[in-house]
Protein backbone atom coordinates (compact mmCIF):
# COMPACT_ATOMS: atom_id res chain seq x y z
CA UNK A 1 0.00 0.00 0.00
CA UNK A 2 2.79 2.40 0.93
CA UNK A 3 4.54 1.74 -2.38
CA UNK A 4 1.29 2.38 -4.29
CA UNK A 5 0.85 5.72 -2.48
CA UNK A 6 4.46 6.67 -3.29
CA UNK A 7 3.93 5.88 -6.98
CA UNK A 8 0.65 7.84 -7.03
CA UNK A 9 2.32 10.86 -5.39
CA UNK A 10 5.26 10.65 -7.81
CA UNK A 11 2.88 10.51 -10.80
CA UNK A 12 0.83 13.40 -9.47
CA UNK A 13 3.96 15.51 -9.02
CA UNK A 14 5.26 14.58 -12.46
CA UNK A 15 1.97 15.53 -14.13
CA UNK A 16 1.41 18.77 -12.19
CA UNK A 17 2.21 21.95 -14.13
CA UNK A 18 5.05 23.92 -12.58
CA UNK A 19 4.25 27.60 -13.13
CA UNK A 20 6.78 28.73 -10.51
CA UNK A 21 9.57 27.03 -12.44
CA UNK A 22 8.36 28.54 -15.72
CA UNK A 23 8.35 31.96 -14.08
CA UNK A 24 11.91 31.51 -12.83
CA UNK A 25 13.37 31.74 -16.35
CA UNK A 26 11.11 34.69 -17.18
CA UNK A 27 12.18 36.50 -14.00
CA UNK A 28 15.82 35.74 -14.87
CA UNK A 29 15.22 37.39 -18.27
CA UNK A 30 13.80 40.47 -16.54
CA UNK A 31 16.80 40.50 -14.18
CA UNK A 32 19.11 40.93 -17.18
CA UNK A 33 17.37 44.24 -17.90
CA UNK A 34 18.43 45.77 -14.56
CA UNK A 35 20.67 48.83 -14.92
CA UNK A 36 20.86 52.33 -16.34
CA UNK A 37 19.78 52.74 -19.96
CA UNK A 38 20.31 55.84 -22.12
CA UNK A 39 19.13 56.66 -25.59
CA UNK A 40 17.92 59.13 -28.14
CA UNK A 41 14.95 59.22 -30.41
CA UNK A 42 13.01 61.30 -32.87
CA UNK A 43 9.56 62.78 -33.25
CA UNK A 44 8.10 62.88 -36.75
CA UNK A 45 4.80 63.84 -38.29
CA UNK A 46 2.81 66.84 -37.06
CA UNK A 47 5.52 67.58 -34.48
CA UNK A 48 9.21 66.96 -35.05
CA UNK A 49 12.31 66.98 -32.95
CA UNK A 50 14.78 64.97 -30.92
CA UNK A 51 14.29 63.35 -27.57
CA UNK A 52 16.80 62.07 -25.05
CA UNK A 53 15.85 59.51 -22.40
CA UNK A 54 17.32 57.77 -19.37
CA UNK A 55 15.75 54.67 -17.86
CA UNK A 56 16.57 53.17 -14.48
CA UNK A 57 15.53 49.54 -14.04
CA UNK A 58 15.71 47.93 -10.60
CA UNK A 59 15.15 44.35 -9.49
CA UNK A 60 12.09 43.52 -7.36
CA UNK A 61 11.37 40.27 -5.56
CA UNK A 62 9.25 39.46 -8.64
CA UNK A 63 9.94 41.40 -11.81
CA UNK A 64 11.43 44.86 -12.22
CA UNK A 65 10.62 48.51 -11.52
CA UNK A 66 11.31 51.00 -14.27
CA UNK A 67 11.54 54.77 -14.15
CA UNK A 68 12.08 56.76 -17.34
CA UNK A 69 12.82 60.45 -17.82
CA UNK A 70 12.79 61.92 -21.32
CA UNK A 71 13.77 65.43 -22.29
CA UNK A 72 11.74 66.66 -25.23
CA UNK A 73 12.61 70.25 -26.18
CA UNK A 74 9.05 71.10 -27.29
CA UNK A 75 7.39 69.61 -24.19
CA UNK A 76 10.02 69.66 -21.41
CA UNK A 77 10.75 66.74 -19.12
CA UNK A 78 8.43 63.75 -19.42
CA UNK A 79 8.47 61.04 -16.74
CA UNK A 80 6.84 57.64 -16.54
CA UNK A 81 7.29 54.54 -14.44
CA UNK A 82 5.85 51.13 -13.75
CA UNK A 83 6.46 47.48 -13.01
CA UNK A 84 7.15 44.64 -15.42
CA UNK A 85 6.64 41.12 -14.10
CA UNK A 86 5.80 37.62 -15.20
CA UNK A 87 2.37 36.42 -14.07
CA UNK A 88 2.84 32.68 -13.50
CA UNK A 89 -0.89 31.99 -13.10
CA UNK A 90 -1.74 33.67 -16.42
CA UNK A 91 1.48 32.56 -18.16
CA UNK A 92 2.32 36.03 -19.45
CA UNK A 93 4.42 39.14 -18.98
CA UNK A 94 2.61 42.20 -17.64
CA UNK A 95 3.57 45.87 -17.50
CA UNK A 96 1.61 47.73 -14.83
CA UNK A 97 1.39 51.52 -14.67
CA UNK A 98 1.09 53.45 -11.39
CA UNK A 99 -2.61 53.92 -12.27
CA UNK A 100 -3.10 50.15 -12.40
CA UNK A 101 -3.44 49.72 -16.17
CA UNK A 102 -1.98 46.39 -17.31
CA UNK A 103 -0.43 45.79 -20.73
CA UNK A 104 0.30 42.19 -21.70
CA UNK A 105 3.67 41.32 -23.21
CA UNK A 106 4.51 38.40 -25.46
CA UNK A 107 7.81 36.60 -25.91
CA UNK A 108 9.23 36.96 -29.41
CA UNK A 109 12.67 35.42 -29.92
CA UNK A 110 15.01 36.99 -27.35
CA UNK A 111 12.60 39.87 -26.68
CA UNK A 112 9.41 40.63 -24.83
CA UNK A 113 7.08 42.91 -26.79
CA UNK A 114 4.33 45.04 -25.25
CA UNK A 115 1.63 46.50 -27.53
CA UNK A 116 -0.32 49.21 -25.74
CA UNK A 117 -3.39 51.19 -26.77
CA UNK A 118 -3.06 54.78 -25.55
CA UNK A 119 -5.97 56.96 -24.42
CA UNK A 120 -6.04 60.34 -22.73
CA UNK A 121 -4.10 63.40 -23.91
CA UNK A 122 -3.18 61.31 -26.96
CA UNK A 123 -4.86 58.38 -28.68
CA UNK A 124 -2.87 55.72 -30.48
CA UNK A 125 -0.48 52.85 -29.98
CA UNK A 126 2.87 52.19 -28.39
CA UNK A 127 5.09 49.16 -28.99
CA UNK A 128 7.91 48.50 -26.52
CA UNK A 129 10.43 45.76 -27.31
CA UNK A 130 12.70 44.68 -24.44
CA UNK A 131 15.90 42.69 -24.98
CA UNK A 132 18.92 42.38 -22.66
CA UNK A 133 20.91 44.66 -24.99
CA UNK A 134 18.34 47.15 -26.32
CA UNK A 135 14.98 48.69 -25.55
CA UNK A 136 13.03 50.08 -28.51
CA UNK A 137 9.83 52.10 -28.15
CA UNK A 138 7.71 53.19 -31.13
CA UNK A 139 4.58 55.27 -30.72
CA UNK A 140 1.98 56.55 -33.14
CA UNK A 141 -0.56 58.96 -31.66
CA UNK A 142 -3.10 61.66 -32.46
CA UNK A 143 -4.46 64.28 -30.13
CA UNK A 144 -8.22 63.95 -29.56
CA UNK A 145 -10.10 65.92 -32.21
CA UNK A 146 -7.10 66.02 -34.55
CA UNK A 147 -6.19 63.91 -37.55
CA UNK A 148 -2.51 64.89 -37.40
CA UNK A 149 -0.23 62.01 -36.43
CA UNK A 150 2.81 62.23 -34.20
CA UNK A 151 5.26 59.34 -34.31
CA UNK A 152 8.24 58.67 -32.11
CA UNK A 153 11.07 56.17 -32.24
CA UNK A 154 13.38 55.67 -29.26
CA UNK A 155 16.27 53.26 -28.72
CA UNK A 156 17.96 52.77 -25.35
CA UNK A 157 21.13 50.82 -24.53
CA UNK A 158 23.05 50.15 -21.31
Interval 4-45: pLDDT, tens: 333 333 333 333 333 333 467 898 899 999 999 999 999 999
Residue 138: the pLDDT is 97
- What are 145-153's contacts with CB under 8 Å, separation 24+? 146/46, 148/45, 148/46, 149/45, 149/46, 149/124, 150/43, 150/44, 150/45, 150/46, 150/47, 150/122, 151/43, 151/44, 151/45, 152/41, 152/42, 152/43, 152/44, 152/51, 153/41, 153/42, 153/44
Q: How does the average pLDDT of the chain come out, rounded? A: 85
Q: What pLDDT is stored for residue 120 in this prediction?
A: 81
Residue 85 has pLDDT above 50, yes or no: yes
Residue 102 reports pLDDT greater than 60:
yes
What residues does each domain of the chain span?
17-157
- Inform me whether the pLDDT recorded for 86 exceeds 90: yes
Highest mean pLDDT among 10-14, 41-45, 46-50, 69-73: 41-45
The CATH code that applies to domain 17-157 is 2.40.128.20
Per-residue pLDDT band for 72 (boundaries 50, 70, 90) equals confident
Amino acid sequence: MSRLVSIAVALALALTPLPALAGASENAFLGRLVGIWNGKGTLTGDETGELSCRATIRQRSEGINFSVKCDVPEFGAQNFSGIVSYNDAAGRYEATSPGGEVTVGTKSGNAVVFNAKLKGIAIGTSVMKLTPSRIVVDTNVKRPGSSAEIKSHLELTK
